[in-house]
Structure 1
Amino acid sequence: MARQLLDDDDISLLTGEKNGRGDKKQKDRRSALVEMVYPESKVDEVEELQVYAAFAAIALITEPKPQPQQRTWHISEVKIPRSVSQAMNSPQRAEWWKDMEKEIKTMLDKGVLELVPESEMPEGTKSLQTVWRFQAKTDDFGNVVRYRSRRCGRGGKEKPGVDFNVVGTFSPVARMASFRMLVAMCKILHLLAYQADIDTAYLNARKRALAFVRSIAGFPLKRGWVYKVNNALYGLRESG
């Protein structure tokens, strides 16, 4: 979880305050030059050359080998795949596959999916249908900085009262007015305000209805094993 202290400028932006010209305040970030001042050295020129030669030799030995740089793709060069087959046949197949592996590992580590024997699956239970969804995130110049792969449940195939609880399908979200009021109170009372981001927060919610996944495209299971869905999965009705 990343946490950052908000200063007065950040709070002013969140509470809607503006400067004299009516524009929102922006931080002016500029690099600074730091002048290093050393005391006068009493080492003569010969010793200085010896020290310099020693440091040069160390730098030569410890100099890291250049690593091959990964090509940066522009979004105009990337066609977002609609299936695993398209992703594996695209020029960016290595990037897509790397994020697919990361997605499955994250779900297993967080307990969203649990590998269990097929015998634990109640008789007559239908397996949950899932699908891969791909997206690319870019910077301000349109260069792709991240390839995002998500394994989503097909919530449209779920039956009310069977696959999910109709009463419990809501997402408790605070109103924006309430959030702005709390930020304003922090400024009035001189309190410290923090902002935080929780990694894959969506996957932390528990799933109430029992669900199983028989297969995931690109990641075949051994015969006699299935995935049990313990936590919220993207796309399901109970997932918010």
Structure 2
Amino acid sequence: MIAMQEELNQFEIIEVWKLVSKPSNQSVIRTIWVFRNKMDENDIIVRNKARLVAQGFNQEEGIDYEETFAPVARLETIRMLLAFACFKDFVLYQMDVKSAFLNGFINEEKHVEQPPDFQSFNFPNHIFKLKKALYGLKQTPRA
């Protein structure tokens, strides 16, 4: 429960969505929780992780999204970057972003259900209008 609350707090901080009444002409995408345990080198659980994911497999191309995108770097490109950095004496840093996908704005108007077990007490029948991309949507990697 703590991991799920942390995820929702992150959503509020970066303003991923806005609670609105359900429109009659828009489809609503369901959401699910995905859980993972982070372990150390001795296989001892260090932290529980929870991620709210949209069930984007229900989206239809041409209706819900135009194109998909996979952010992949080729091995040759990484080798070239490392060789150039060594040649020019650049300093390279690795950065792991906890919620990288949640920083991309989406152009389409998308609505998702309220997360399971975290419905608004005052507005239980409302849904969220997405301002930013959410894991699981087909257009998220492009955003």
Same fold per superposition (TM over 0.5): yes
Which one has the bigger helix percentage? 1
Q: CA deviation at 1:107?
A: 1.3
1:40-51 equivalence runs, <5 A = none
Structure 1 segments (4+ residues) deviating >3 Å:
none
Which shows bigger deviation, 204-213 or 99-108? Answer: 204-213
TM-superposition CA deviations, 1:28-49 (whole Å, max 9, x none): xxxxxxxxxxxxxxxxxxxxxx
Which one has the bigger strand percentage? 2
Q: Structure 2-normalised TM-score?
A: 0.86
Q: CA deviation at 1:214?
A: 3.3
Give the unaligned 5+ runs of structure 2: none
In the other structure, the counterpart of 2:140 is 239
Please say if 1:146 is aligned against 2:50.
no
**Counterpart AA for 1:150:** R
Cα distance in 1 for residues equivalent to 2:32 and 2:101: 17
**Counterpart AA for 1:184:** A
Relative to structure 1, the CA distance from residue 198 to residue 133 in structure 2 (aligned partners, 3 Å threshold; closer, same or farther) is closer
TM-superposition CA deviations, 1:69-110 (whole Å, max 9, x none): xxxxxxxxxxxxxxxxxxxxxxxxxxxx00000111111221
Please say if 1:175 is aligned against 2:77.
no
Cα distance in 2 for residues equivalent to 1:137 and 1:195: 19
- CA contact under 8 A between 1:137 and 1:144: conserved in structure 2? yes
**Counterpart AA for 2:25:** G
Structure showing greater Rg:
1
Q: CA deviation at 1:122?
A: 3.9
In the other structure, the counterpart of 1:101 is 5
Please say if 1:124 is aligned against 2:28.
no
Cα distance in 2 for residues equivalent to 1:203 and 1:214: 17
In the other structure, the counterpart of 1:200 is 99
Q: CA deviation at 1:209?
A: 2.0
Relative to structure 1, the CA distance from residue 172 to residue 215 in structure 2 (aligned partners, 3 Å threshold; closer, same or farther) is closer
